[in-house]
Amino acid sequence: MSDTPSPRPGQPIVFRNGIVLTMDDAHTVLPEGDVLVIDGKIAEVGVDLDAPDGAFEIDAARGILMPGMVDTHRHMWQTAMRAYGADWTLTQYFVWYYLEHGMKFRPEDVAAGNLVSALDAVESGVTTSVDWSHGLRTPDHGEAALEALAESPGRFVLAYGNLAGAPWEWTQDPAVRRIIERARDDSRLFGAQIAFDVPGDENFPEAPAFALAEELGLKITTHVGVWGATNDNGIRLMYEHGVMRPGNIYVHAATLSDESYQMIAATGGSVSLATESEQTCGQGYPPAHALRKHGIPASLSIDTSVWFSSDMFSAMRTTIGADRALEHYIAHQTGDTVTHAKIRVEEVVDWATRGGAKALGRFDEIGSLEPGKLADIVLIKNDDSPTMTPIINPYGHIVYQAGRGDVHTVLVGGNPVKLGGKLVAGDLPSVRRKLESTVEYLRGELGDETWKSGMNPEIPEVEILTNPYQYRRSDAAHTH
């Protein structure tokens, strides 16, 4: 907790003299603007606003005000094993979680991961997250995940999944259905989705899972275009069976044909890019270029902190970097030079805010700083850092200069979760104790040798071929 003065519950809040990125339809920028918050909503955005007497003032000068960021795909339960799989491939991830050790996670371990991931998100300015919760192998795991999200600061969508079971079976479990309905209706959450993949079985056994989503009025989120796992056949089957509905979120979408992208575009779907993941794991090349080509709406996501960074600054930076690198690479193959970058910093900031809000069907509530919307607001400001001065291009500053340590203030529904650069919501010491218990338990279940080998996978030995750029004693012997 912080000693920084904080507003009283219900006290109006006004940010003064910040660079305001409204992210409205015109992408209006106010170089020295104010944002007034009353009763948990944005009351006004403008210059020299009149605030109610007694309003709590936050000096936003030398800072950037922007909407809370939205993460549309994060396996929050895996944050309990943060960075454990930093040297994994996707195959090693599948083996570790799907085949060998994912079933060892108890309900309290799933909860611990969710609790720390929730704090991790809001502390970095991500005010809404989709918990792509595919570790729910029993209803007890589902209950634990739901309650952990419900008691955490921030907005969370529980995307219910079960990597250990078939979606046409677990979605028919009455206990699972009750949890999904609770997540959908619980005012402490921001809704529910159903999360599963479609590998491409021609019999389309996933039909009952889609039927449940339709019955409950929920959207599907599914990994598609993942090399070696989900491909064009899955898209074709979903399209032929009429289940590609508007609002469905297709994650990664990195190895699809033009026809598959056209199906996503034609049916009103969007794609969640997790560029650090796509770059590292081998799902395929991050497909921002394909989404722009086909007019598919995009949002950004973290994927899993068992590997990757857990903030949107990293997601924006890697997304624009990967796309620009590809553009240059393609041009160079034919001797051409790119003189004007097609993807711009403003576009990836849009994807991190408006794009996520639209993907969730909640742009009427979040995703921009406009009167009447929920007061999910982020102030990026750090007077102690030379990196935060001068601020000339605020979009470029967010994408290429700022980091989570520069997040000064975060409001969710007008309630401060971070003030003066310090987390002021949640109970981090308690969460830390839960995590320590989970790590100790899992390490005991695996044993030291398996624990170490899982974290440090071997590099297969490769025979080094003789070439003129390598000196070896055997080569030298032949030359004398």
Task: State the residue for tokens 């989900």.
Answer: 230
Within 13 Å of residue 139, how many CA atoms lie on the same side as its CB? 14
Among 22, 124, 25, smallest CA distance to 358 is for 25
Give the chain's residues under pLDDT 70.
1-3, 462-480
Q: How far apart are CA 363 and CA 365, in angstroms?
A: 5
Written as one string, the DSSP assignment of 273-327 is: E-HHHHHHH-S-S-THHHHHHHT--EEE--B-TTTS--SHHHHHHHHHHHHHHHH
Query: Model-level pTM?
Result: 0.95
Please name which of 391, 387, 427, 383 lies closest in space to residue 408, comparing C-alpha atoms: 383
Which residues in 21-36 are b (16+ Cβ under 10 Å) and which e? bbbbeeeebbeebbbb
Q: How many residues does the chain have?
A: 480
Q: What is the pLDDT of residues 434-479, one digit of tens each?
A: 999 999 999 999 999 999 999 999 988 765 555 554 444 444 444 4
Nearest to 101 by CA among 117, 81, 82, 86: 81
- Give the whole-number percent of the chain exceeding pLDDT 70: 95
Q: What does pLDDT average to over the chain? A: 95
pLDDT of residue 463: 59
Residue 295's contacts (CB-CB under 8 Å, 6 or more residues apart) are 265
